[in-house]
């Protein structure tokens, strides 16, 4: 019985998690410095990278249509804001990502719970679920464009499809692996089926659900971009194709960077939500990166 | 007048279909009759796999016997019922609930009002020496404290019979003795009836009024030993009794401990 020991270990683990990727750091105030040092080092890496991007192409005489230097991409960014309605296209892509992610994860979680509660249905459906899971979801993009035209809907649909599976599989596996003794404990208190789900199974699936949501957040961006690449005249995927047609390499770079930023924001939102919901887990279990 | 019988197994059998052996049935428990009187603590010891846990699960109504009947407070057990609560080696605390919320689990399932739930939980947290930890999460507590919380959760539903399946076997020796002491005192003060499964021979001697020895599978009761010593409410004191050693030796003999060659030859 040493609560002090447990708390100290937890504090050290928490500090380790914020300090960086190293798991086995010595405890003590040095962790704070190491954390600050890690941030400074990360910024330094960025600066070195930007400098190399700016100066190396010139040094090696790489033409700008192959690899435009950083400053050229920066000025292209401002040109696109003014002339190419960059914000408008970014907004459309972001909305499609949010819609696809929300619908896909909701459906994934829902069907995961339903199949988790109905082992027989899962047994019957499992070959088809597996087949759909293996099928490359982005290959459906042209089909959806043919069905739904040059609108936002085929893009959202690709995102829904691609987000759906990792979340459904995570939820299903989690429900299946709930400790049967926990369920028996609830049953011994005369719990109803619904109480077992609400008090035991559902909360137990939340950590794997959030792992699925993290994956889903990045996959949603991929799904939407592929949809936009295939057809339409709006969204960042469209700007990618447009820039390529113009031979404007800098424009392609700007679009890739904005897409990455949208992905980072989506991922960050999931991580923030996860920290709020799963606050009861020891900090070391949160993968912060 | 004979004291009332709280839990009774009448000629109970349990057969399972063993998955690894196709459709062949395995008999876990055969023709077991046990009656535990009000306020009595009875331990069951036996080799692993002899069906001790099966017996408890039937007592809790988690599954029904293949033959025979189980009665709790005179009522035939047909499923989980409010008179019985069980406690396992695993603490089974829910990591997303605080200690207080974990203790309240059974009451919440039985739809007890929040205020009353809280009051009962806090009283038990106090009694189980967990005061000040009610807002902690399970991972913040040591193994011994977690098992105390599990005991509080078990007592919270006010069962007349406690079924305990090796509740202390995962704890270190000293923590175990302290928890045994606390459990024994609580059982004595509240006059609870308990059926206690253990591997630990001395634990069975210091905690109970009676010991039942089970045979290897199919599990049968081969001997019943009354523990005629003072201090059922104070196991640490009882541990020092001169009769504990010889009784433990007798149990070892009954369970064929220390004669592995003979056991393997069977």
Contact A189 B57 (CB under 8 A): no
- List all residues 6 or more positions away from B25 whose beta carbon is below 8 Å from its beta carbon: B15, B16, B17, B18
The CA distance from B162 to B60, in Å, is 9
User: Per-domain residue ranges for chain B?
Assistant: 5-83+164-265, 90-158
pLDDT tens digits for range A116-136 = 888 888 889 889 988 988 999
Q: Which residue has the tokens 């401002």?
A: A78
CB B66 within 8 A of CB B15: yes
Q: Which two tokens stand for residue A276?
A: 């709020």
The CA distance from B183 to B167, in Å, is 10
Chain length of chain A: 289
How many other CB atoms sit within 10 Å of the CB of residue A40? 10
Burial B157-176 (b: 16+ CB within 10 A, else e): bebbbbbbbbbbebbeeebb
Handedness of CA A29, A31, A32, A36 (dihedral sign): positive
- B65 backbone dihedrals φ, ψ, rounded to 5°: -65, 150
Closest alpha carbon within chain B to A280 = B96
Contact A6 B90 (CB under 8 A): no
Per-residue pLDDT of chain B (266 residues; tens, 9 = 90+): 567 899 999 999 998 886 665 677 888 888 999 999 999 999 999 887 778 888 889 999 998 999 999 999 888 999 898 889 989 989 999 999 999 999 999 999 999 999 999 999 999 999 899 999 999 999 999 999 999 999 999 999 999 999 999 999 888 999 999 999 999 999 999 899 999 999 889 999 999 999 999 988 888 888 999 998 888 898 999 989 888 889 998 888 888 877 655 444 44
State ipTM: 0.88
The CA distance from A74 to A71, in Å, is 5
Of B90, B97, B140, the CB nearest to A181: B90
Closest alpha carbon within chain A to B155 = A189
Q: Which residues of A touch B (CB under 8 A)?
A: 1-3, 5-7, 10, 179, 181-182, 184-191, 195, 199-200, 203, 206, 280-282
Q: Which residues of B touch A282 (CB under 8 A)?
A: 139
Q: Integer distance in angstroms from the first to the last C-alpha of chain A? A: 34
- Whether the bond between B218 and the residue before it is cis, its omega within 30 degrees of 0, is yes
Provide CATH code, domain B5-83+164-265: 3.40.50.300
Contact A3 B141 (CB under 8 A): yes
- Phi-psi category of residue B67: left, alpha or beta, with phi > 0 → left and psi -120 to 50 → alpha: beta
Of B61, B139, B144, the CB nearest to A282: B139
The candidate with the shortest Cα–Cα distance to A109, out of A153, A163, A42, is: A163
Beta strands at B221-226 and B75-76: parallel, antiparallel or unpaired? unpaired
pLDDT tens digits for range A7-23 = 334 433 333 333 333 33
For residue B32, the cross-strand partners are B12
- A22 backbone dihedrals φ, ψ, rounded to 5°: -65, 125
Q: Which residues of A touch B58 (CB under 8 A)?
A: none
The candidate with the shortest Cα–Cα distance to B221, out of B72, B35, B85, B87, is: B35
Q: Which residues of A touch B137 (CB under 8 A)?
A: 280
- Give the number of beta-carbon pairs within 8 Å between A and B: 75
Instruction: Give the residue from B109, B111, B156, B179 with the most A CB atoms within 10 Å of its CB, the best one to mutate.
Output: B109
Contact A2 B142 (CB under 8 A): yes
Per-residue pLDDT of chain A (289 residues; tens, 9 = 90+): 344 444 334 433 333 333 333 334 444 444 445 567 899 999 999 999 999 999 998 899 989 889 999 999 999 999 999 999 999 999 999 999 999 999 999 999 999 999 988 888 888 988 998 898 899 999 999 999 999 999 999 999 999 999 999 999 999 999 999 999 999 999 999 999 999 999 999 999 999 999 999 999 999 999 999 999 998 889 999 999 999 999 999 999 999 999 999 999 999 999 999 999 998 888 655 544 4
At residue A28, the 3 state secondary structure works out as coil
The CA distance from B150 to A193, in Å, is 22
Task: Give the distance, in angstroms, between the CA of residue A105 and the centroid of all CA atoms in the same chain.
Answer: 11
Of A1, A5, A189, the CB nearest to B109: A189
Q: How many CA atoms lie within 13 A of B135 on its CB side?
A: 1
Q: Which residues of A touch B81 (CB under 8 A)?
A: 190
Å between A196 CA and nearest CA of chain B: 9
Q: Which two tokens stand for residue B21?
A: 């052996």
């Amino acid at each position: 019985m040493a609560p002090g020991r447990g708390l100290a270990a937890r504090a050290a683990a928490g500090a380790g998690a914020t300090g960086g990727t190293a798991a086995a750091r010595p405890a003590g105030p040095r962790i704070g410095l190491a954390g600050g040092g890690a941030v400074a080092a990360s910024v330094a890496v960025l600066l070195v990278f930007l400098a190399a991007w700016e100066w190396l192409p010139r040094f090696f005489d790489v033409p700008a249509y192959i690899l435009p230097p950083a400053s050229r991409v920066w000025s292209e960014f401002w040109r696109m804001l003014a002339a190419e309605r960059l914000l408008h296209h970014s907004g459309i892509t972001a909305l499609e990502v949010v819609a696809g992610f929300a619908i896909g994860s909701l459906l994934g979680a829902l069907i995961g719970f339903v199949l988790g509660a109905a082992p027989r249905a899962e047994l019957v459906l499992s070959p088809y679920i597996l087949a759909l899971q293996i099928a490359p979801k982005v290959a459906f993009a042209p089909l959806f464009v043919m069905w739904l035209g040059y609108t936002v809907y085929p893009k959202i649909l690709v995102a829904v499809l691609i987000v759906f599976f990792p979340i459904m599989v995570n939820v299903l596996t989690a429900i299946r692996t709930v400790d049967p003794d926990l369920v028996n404990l609830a049953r011994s208190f005369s719990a109803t089926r619904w109480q077992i789900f609400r008090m035991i199974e559902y909360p137990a699936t939340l950590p794997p659900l959030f792992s699925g949501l993290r994956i889903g957040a990045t996959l949603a961006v991929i799904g939407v971009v592929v949809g936009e690449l295939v057809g339409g005249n709006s969204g960042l995927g469209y700007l990618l194709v447009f820039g390529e047609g113009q031979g404007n390499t800098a424009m392609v770079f700007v679009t890739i960077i904005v897409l990455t930023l949208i992905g980072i924001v989506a991922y960050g939102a999931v991580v923030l939500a996860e920290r709020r919901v799963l606050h009861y887990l020891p900090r070391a279990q949160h993968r912060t990166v | 007048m004979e004291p009332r019988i709280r839990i009774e197994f009448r000629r109970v059998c349990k057969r399972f279909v063993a998955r690894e052996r196709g459709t062949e049935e395995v008999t876990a428990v055969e023709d077991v009759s046990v009656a535990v009187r009000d306020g009595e603590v009875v331990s069951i010891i036996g080799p692993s796999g002899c069906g001790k846990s099966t017996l408890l699960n039937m007592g809790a109504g988690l599954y029904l016997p293949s033959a025979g009947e189980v009665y709790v407070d005179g009522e035939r057990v047909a499923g989980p019922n409010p008179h019985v609560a069980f406690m396992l080696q695993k603490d089974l605390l829910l990591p997303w609930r605080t200690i207080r919320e974990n203790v309240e689990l059974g009451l919440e399932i039985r739809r007890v009002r929040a205020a009353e739930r809280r009051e009962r939980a806090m009283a038990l947290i106090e009694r189980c020496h967990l005061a000040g930890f009610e807002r902690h999460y399970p991972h913040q507590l040591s193994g011994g404290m977690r098992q105390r919380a599990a005991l509080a959760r078990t007592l919270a539903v006010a069962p007349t019979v406690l079924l305990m399946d090796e509740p202390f076997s995962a704890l270190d020796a000293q923590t175990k003795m302290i928890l045994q002491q606390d459990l024994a005192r609580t059982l004595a003060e509240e006059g609870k009836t308990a059926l206690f499964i253990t591997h630990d021979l001395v634990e069975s001697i210091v905690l109970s009024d009676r010991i039942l020895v089970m045979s290897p599978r199919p599990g049968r009761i081969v001997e019943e030993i009354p523990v005629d010593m003072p201090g059922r409410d104070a196991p640490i004191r009882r541990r020092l009794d001169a009769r504990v050693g010889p009784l433990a030796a007798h149990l070892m003999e009954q369970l064929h401990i220390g004669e592995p060659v003979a056991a393997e030859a069977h």
